[in-house]
Amino acid sequence: MEFVNNLVTGLLLGGLYAVAALGLSIVFGTMKLVNLAHGQLLILGAYLTTMLITIAAGGDPLLMGIPAAIILAVLVYPLQRYIITPVMAQGEEPPMTVTFGISVVITTLLIIFFTSSPMPIWPVDYATAQIELGGVRIRVIYLIATVLAIVFILALMWILKRTAFGRQVRAASIDAEAAGLVGIDVKKTYARVMALSAFIAGYAGVLIALSGAVAPSSGTSWLLRAFTVVVIGGLASLPGTLYGGFIVGLVETFGAVWIGPQYRDVLVFGLLVVILLVRPNGLFAKAVKA
Partner 1 sequence: MSPRIANLLRYGLPVVIGIILYFCAGVLELSTVNDLTGLFLLMTLAMAWNLVGGFGGQFSLGHSIFVGVGSYATAVILTTLGWPLLPAMLAAAVMSAFIGVLLAYPLLRLRGPYLAVGSLGIALAAYGWMINWNFTKASQAYAMPPSGQVSLPEVFQYSTVLLVVTVIAIVALVRSPLGLRLVALRDNELGAASVGVKRVRTLLPIWGLSGLLTGAMGAVYAVQVGSLSVDASFAIQWSLDAAIICVIGGLGTLSGPFVGAIIIYYLRKYAADFSNWALLIEAVVLVVVVRFFPAGIVGLVTSTYKKFTGNRAVSKK
Applying CB under 8 A, which residues contact partner 1? 33-34, 36, 83, 86-87, 90, 92-94, 96-98, 100-102, 104-105, 108-109, 111-112, 220-221, 223-224, 227-228, 260, 262-266, 269-270, 272-273, 276-277, 280, 283-284, 286-287, 289-290
Q: Is 220 exposed, middle or buried (0-12, 13-18, 19+ CB in 10 A)?
A: middle
* Residue with Cβ nearer partner 1 (12 or 226): 226
Burial of 193 (0-12, 13-18, 19+ CB in 10 A): buried
Give least dist CB 290 to partner 1, A: 6
**Amino acid identity at 151:** V
- Which residue's CB is nearer to partner 1, number 70 or number 283? 283
Contacts of 165 (CB under 8 A, 6+ apart): 159, 189, 192
For partner 1, the closer of residues 93 and 185 by Cβ is 93
Q: What's the length of the chain?
A: 290
Q: Which is nearer to partner 1, 32 or 188 (CB)?
A: 32
- In the complex, the smallest distance separating the C-beta of residue 41 from partner 1, rounded to whole angstroms, is 15
The minimum distance between CB 2 and partner 1, in angstroms, equals: 24
Are 49 and 64 in contact by the 8 Å Cβ rule? The answer is yes
Helices (H) and strands (E) counted in the chain, each on its own, are 12, 2
Nearer Cβ to partner 1 (212/280): 280
Q: Which amino acid would we find at residue 170?
A: R
CB of 20 to partner 1, least distance (A): 15
Asked if 221 and 229 count as a contact pair (C-beta separation under 8 A), the reply is no
- Minimum distance of partner 1 from residue 194's CB (angstroms): 15
